[in-house]
Amino acid sequence: MSHLVETMAYTGQTPWHQLGHALPKKQSIDVWAQAAGMQWKIQETSVRYMATGEADALYGEALEFPEQKVLYRSDTNAALSVVSQRYKVVQPQEVLEFYRDLSEVAGFELETAGVLKAGRRFWALARTGKSACLKGNDVVHSYLLLATSCDGTLATMAIPTSVRVVCNNTLAIALQGAGSGSGAIKVPHSTSFDAQAVKRQLGIAVGQWDSFMYRMKTLAERKVKTHEAMNYFLKVICQTDQQGEGGGSGVPGLANERALKKVQTLFEGHGRGAELQAAKDTAWGLLSAVTEFVDHEKQARSQDNRLDSAWFGQGAALKQRALEHALQLVA
């Protein structure tokens, strides 16, 4: 089993994924870079190949392939990826530097940072200082996640994120006017990463925290009946609403039956915070059951695989689908 997390650091309480080295609070960016293993740089070199003639296969001429380049780590010289010459690299240190003025001026506080997939993906997560409380003292904090990759699998993304304190569930904040999916600000690697431009966009995004939490409070007020809860989980977990016409017998395909039963169990009182007033028999409880399932219960080869999925992969997509269907209940 391969582990995805290369290095990681955190401050405060142990994160939900239980990975990383603990740091005291309010450390400098330089200390974070060292503890999180983000001090190295991404170097690049030409793609070369050995051309041999038919007559003599032992000796050849070293030639370059000008359309692509190899990215590699400065500390180990380990190759990371082969990308187009037009590919714009974002350095690990840039991800941390993004938060320097936000920490010094705007009150943001870094809480986790690290490297995934041997250096191919790296991120930092900071608390913004904003919080909200649903009825029954169900507290939700506002965070900002910045992540990128150097292998073409992920654009540089700034993702406003919420964390429910009672269970440490994470959920990307869907912003009004952002269309389907989360309100992530994405910078493709075909363009240069302009941190200040992203922060200007984030000024709008972070400003929608109150709007987002208003909708979460609306979910907490929306009581759901047993059949509504079942229909919600069937749509979110088993995607019964996406099964095509004429696609078989018409009986819901329960390929995810084990997951379906697990989220039902979490919702019905066995989840963290499931008995809180805001979550018990409400649409907020439905959403929280799915986010807890993804972050803590969903089958994964390891905790670092779970982290990668919950933030960037199938788990993140599942949580966004859960949010969209929950909001439909109060539309």
Q: How far apart are CA 215 and CA 65, in angstroms?
A: 53
- Model confidence at 222: pLDDT above 90: yes
What is the domain partition of the chain in residue ranges? 5-40+89-198, 217-328
Burial of 135 (0-12, 13-18, 19+ CB in 10 A): middle
pTM: 0.84
Q: How far apart are CA 87 and CA 193, in angstroms?
A: 11
Q: Kindly give, in sequence order, each residue whose CB lies less than 8 Å from that of residue 11, ignoring residues fewer than 6 positions away.
A: 22, 23, 24, 25, 27, 109, 110, 111, 112
SS3 289: helix
Angle at 300 between CA 297 and CA 304, to 5 degrees: 100
Q: How far apart are CA 105 and CA 174, in angstroms?
A: 26
Q: How far apart are CA 147 and CA 114, in angstroms?
A: 10
The CA–CA distances, whole Å, from 126 to 100, 260, 288, 301, 314 equal 11, 32, 21, 27, 23
Q: pLDDT digits over 61-101, tens only?
A: 788 898 999 999 999 999 999 999 999 999 999 999 999 98
Task: Band the pLDDT of 284: cuts 50, 70, 90.
Answer: very high
Taken in order 155, 158, 159, 164, the sign of the CA dihedral is: positive
Residues in the chain: 331
DSSP string across 240-283: GGGPPTTSSSSSPP-TTHHHHHHHHHIIIIISTTTTSTTTTTBH
Q: Kindly give, in sequence order, each residue whose CB lies less than 8 Å from that of residue 142, ignoring residues fewer than 6 positions away.
A: 127, 128, 129, 130, 131, 132, 160, 161, 162, 173, 206, 209
What are the helix (H) ranges across the chain?
29-35, 92-97, 100-104, 195-206, 209-221, 226-237, 257-265, 283-292, 303-312, 314-328
Scanning the structure block, which residue is given the tokens 């910078």? 187
Task: Band the pLDDT of 5: cuts 50, 70, 90.
Answer: low
Q: pLDDT digits over 118-133, tens only?
A: 899 999 999 998 999 9
The conformation of residue 87, written as its DSSP 8-state character, comes to P
- Model confidence at 254: pLDDT above 70: no
Task: Band the pLDDT of 183: cuts 50, 70, 90.
Answer: low
Q: How far apart are CA 148 and CA 75, in angstroms?
A: 19
Segment 293-305 shows an average pLDDT of 80
Q: What is the pLDDT of residue 193?
A: 94
Q: pLDDT digits over 43-70, tens only?
A: 999 998 888 766 566 667 788 898 999 9
Which tokens is 127 given?
Answer: 């608390």
Q: pLDDT digits over 185-217, tens only?
A: 899 999 999 999 998 888 766 667 888 899 999
Q: What is the pLDDT of residue 53?
A: 66
Of 162 and 242, the one with more pLDDT: 162
